[in-house]
Structure 1
Amino acid sequence: MDYDELVALRRHHAAWKLLRADNAALMLSFFNKVFVEQGVRSIAGVELADRLDDELFALNERLGQGAFPKSAKAYLDDWSGPQSGWLRKYYPADSDEPHYDATPAVEKAIAWIRSLQARSFIGTESRLNTIFDLLRQMTFGAETDPEARLEELKRRRLEIDEEIARAEVGDVDVLDSSGLRDRYQQLTATAHELLADFREVEANFRDLDRELRRKIAVWDGSKGELLDEILTSRESIAESDQGRSFQAFYGFLLSHRRQDEFKKLLAQAEAMGAIGEPDPRMRRIPRDWLDAAERTQATVRQLSEQLRRFLDDRAWSEDRRVMELMSGIEARAVMLRDMPGVDLVLEIDAAAPAITLPMERPLYAPVTRTPIDSTDIHVGDEEFAADALFEAVYVDPARLVETVRRALDLQAQVSLADLVRQNPLEQGLAELVAYLALSGDGFTVVFDDSRREEITWMGADGVQHVVQAPVAAFARTISGATWALDKEEQS
């Protein structure tokens, strides 16, 4: 770090500006209580304002009414403004109420303030062991020589065998109280640092999301180029060192076996008398890790959602542009249609190409052949009554069509009632239903369902039958137009 870099950090870094602020003590104590000690990752604006109002009331009672003259809402607006950057104010997808969350700068400032506090015990042994363990993991994990790996595994096995031999004779190395306190101190510090780092990881993903939104808003090239740029950026997140490390941590954290093992080991460690008073924040640290990791994953999912909305908006705008072009072409063609010397006739094979994808074709289905067994044939009953087979009535529609055409040769329209009076029904109700369902070239059937008319005929048994039917007429079709019901019929 040189002089100019430090001057720029002092002027622009949010954490440094927080430490230089007039109300730094109020902000650091309040942020630490809400966002660090209580592990809050997102809080509604009304609830946060109520908590701050209680804090301001207590401080004004103790320090005087003029110590903090502003309202809680005014302080929150100042702390979340772009010139400050200490609180992130946003609206969740399913809420119209603003929510707040601390920024990574707040975590950095609080961590630095905590480092200033005097500590009665500073452990060094566990951190030295951690350094050696990390170095062994790095060198052994990067080793590609099978012989070297085998030698390292044999060395580990020898150490384990020696420890087993000592344990069998009762020689067991037990950590003393200072060693336990040393390792527990490093455990809590690492756990809290990991939780604080999630805010910075989430902030990095939000910065990338903001950059993608900016590119989409000002992009003037083709859609394909923009998609390639966005997808490349999306893949760079997952393939970056930070992305791979986060995915590995998230997969490790989602393992139920690992969670149960962590909770069990933590409970056993905190039950040791040498630890003293355990850190209360460690009891909820697995849940805080899961919550922070899920919020980070949700930020990454917003990138895909933003991409989907962009595709939908671009597709809609392109469809609208195509329709505008088509309308302009149609208007121009109508204007030039009647102009002499302009030939607008164009023939095409089809309005659209016929596309049949290979997977749309059905697979071959073999025909199931039903075998016919004619070996056991029995003689039927000679006394079977077959009268029902001869009672079925068949109405010839060709005869009815010819009747309608003869009637329409004399007039443009004829009602069904008049047609039945001129040509009495020979097959009763079946013939009447056939008239209603009749269709043919040169005429059509026109109905008026709002009115009814009586149609009568004499049956074969000499009994008169009466049916209420909708007003219907057969109308002649001329040049694609159909006659409507005559006014006389409508009256």
Structure 2
Amino acid sequence: MQVEEITQILRESPSVRLIKSRSVDFFLSFVIEAFEGQAAIMQERLHMLLENRLDEQENTLVEDDSEMTRLVESNEQKAKRLIKDWTDKGFLTNYQNEEGEVIYEISSHTSKLIDWVVSLKKEDYIGTESKFKTLFSQLKELVEYSNEDREKRLELLRTKKMEIEHQIQRLEMGEEVEVYEDYQIEPRYNSLNKLAKELLSDFKEVDDNFKGIIKEIYERQTENAEKKALLNYIFDAYGELKQSQQGKRFYAFGEFLL
């Protein structure tokens, strides 16, 4: 990664903008609690939850822009302003459902930052053994599926077949079934949990991109854009997203599930 690319990311990324914000601790604490167990919240409820939080933690919110006129704001007004500000900055996303109600979600940028902050928490375990086995397994998989040699692939498959047959024979001869100890289960469970969160974050980013396309379509419809131009935009945007590395990974996962 070149210096210019790093500079651009640090300058433009909403995640970086959020972590540099003076109110990042208040914001993260609020959204983690508000969105716990649910992916989306209706506008009125989110305003109410934030207003209640402001009532409970009076004068604890430090904002980046402290205008004197805001000192006379009610917490209801402040909650609505903050939600709009967080959405404009890319920390939250919103859309309208079929009934025209505004729904809010945590943006992919905020989701990534939350995962990163959680990862900084000191863990009580060190999963060296499970990490090494995962690394070794992925290296074997990389070697196997990056080689187009048919005979080499057959050789690897025959080796796997022999290993499985030997395991079956040992079990049939009365050998005890090997199971993980607690110290082996915990790091694997935590690793799976971490991967699941990363997967959800990836899905969230793709979802945000689709919603961005849909929002652009609505705006063009409102502007009475020509149908031909609108259709061209839809197909071009969809095709571009599908051909991106992010889109390819998303659709590959979908095909795997099917």
TM-score after normalising by structure 2: 0.78
Shift of 1:237: 3.8
Paired with 1:145 and 1:4, the residues of 2 have a C-alpha distance of 40
In the alignment, structure 1 residue 181 sits paired with structure 2 residue 179? no
Q: Residue type of the partner of 1:139?
A: V
> Percent identical across equivalent pairs?
30
Aligned partner of residue 89 in structure 1, secondary structure: strand
8 Å Cα contact 1:123/1:185 also seen in 2: no
8 Å Cα contact 1:45/1:99 also seen in 2: yes
Partner of 1:67: 60
Q: Residue type of the partner of 2:190?
A: Q
Partner of 2:254: 250
Shift of 1:45: 0.8
Paired with 2:230 and 2:105, the residues of 1 have a C-alpha distance of 32
In the alignment, structure 1 residue 57 sits paired with structure 2 residue 48? no
Cα distance per residue 1:30-61 (max 9 Å; x no partner): 112233x32x322111111122222222223x
Partner of 2:87: 80
Alignment of 1:307-322 (within 5 A): none
Q: 1:227 to 1:22 in 2, by over 3 A?
A: closer
Partner of 1:463: none
Give the number of the structure with larger relative contact order, counting CA–CA contacts within 8 Å between residues 6 or more apart: 2
Q: Residue type of the partner of 1:76?
A: I
What stretches of structure 2 of length at least 5 have no aligned partner?
62-70
Cα distance per residue 1:393-440 (max 9 Å; x no partner): xxxxxxxxxxxxxxxxxxxxxxxxxxxxxxxxxxxxxxxxxxxxxxxx
Partner of 1:47: 45
8 Å Cα contact 2:217/2:230 also seen in 1: no
Q: 1:212 to 1:134 in 2, by over 3 A?
A: farther
Shift of 1:191: 1.0
8 Å Cα contact 2:92/2:105 also seen in 1: yes
How many residues are paired up?
Answer: 242
The correspondence for 1:94, drawn from 99, 118, 122, is 99
8 Å Cα contact 1:79/1:86 also seen in 2: yes
Aligned partner of residue 78 in structure 1, secondary structure: helix
Paired with 2:225 and 2:45, the residues of 1 have a C-alpha distance of 40
Paired with 2:190 and 2:180, the residues of 1 have a C-alpha distance of 14
The correspondence for 1:153, drawn from 134, 140, 157, is 157
TM-score after normalising by structure 1: 0.44
In the alignment, structure 1 residue 194 sits paired with structure 2 residue 187? no
Shift of 1:142: 4.3
8 Å Cα contact 1:88/1:103 also seen in 2: yes
Shift of 1:93: 3.1
8 Å Cα contact 1:87/1:100 also seen in 2: yes
Q: Residue type of the partner of 1:86?
A: F
What stretches of structure 1 of length at least 5 have no aligned partner?
61-65, 256-491
Partner of 1:115: 119
In the alignment, structure 1 residue 132 sits paired with structure 2 residue 136? yes
8 Å Cα contact 2:242/2:248 also seen in 1: yes
8 Å Cα contact 2:203/2:250 also seen in 1: no
Paired with 2:99 and 2:175, the residues of 1 have a C-alpha distance of 62
- Which structure has the bigger radius of gyration? 1
Shift of 1:160: 0.9
Q: 1:206 to 1:117 in 2, by over 3 A?
A: same
Alignment of 1:427-466 (within 5 A): none
Q: 1:148 to 1:247 in 2, by over 3 A?
A: same
Alignment of 1:338-357 (within 5 A): none
8 Å Cα contact 2:108/2:208 also seen in 1: yes
Paired with 1:72 and 1:193, the residues of 2 have a C-alpha distance of 30
Aligned partner of residue 202 in structure 1, secondary structure: helix
8 Å Cα contact 1:89/1:100 also seen in 2: yes
Cα distance per residue 1:75-110 (max 9 Å; x no partner): 2122122xx221113322322x32211111111221
Paired with 2:93 and 2:16, the residues of 1 have a C-alpha distance of 17
Shift of 1:194: 0.9
Paired with 1:92 and 1:100, the residues of 2 have a C-alpha distance of 10
In the alignment, structure 1 residue 106 sits paired with structure 2 residue 99? no
Paired with 1:190 and 1:132, the residues of 2 have a C-alpha distance of 17
Cα distance per residue 1:136-173 (max 9 Å; x no partner): 33333344433222211110011112222322332443
Paired with 2:109 and 2:131, the residues of 1 have a C-alpha distance of 26
8 Å Cα contact 1:166/1:172 also seen in 2: no
Greater per-residue strand proportion: 1
Greater per-residue helix proportion: 2
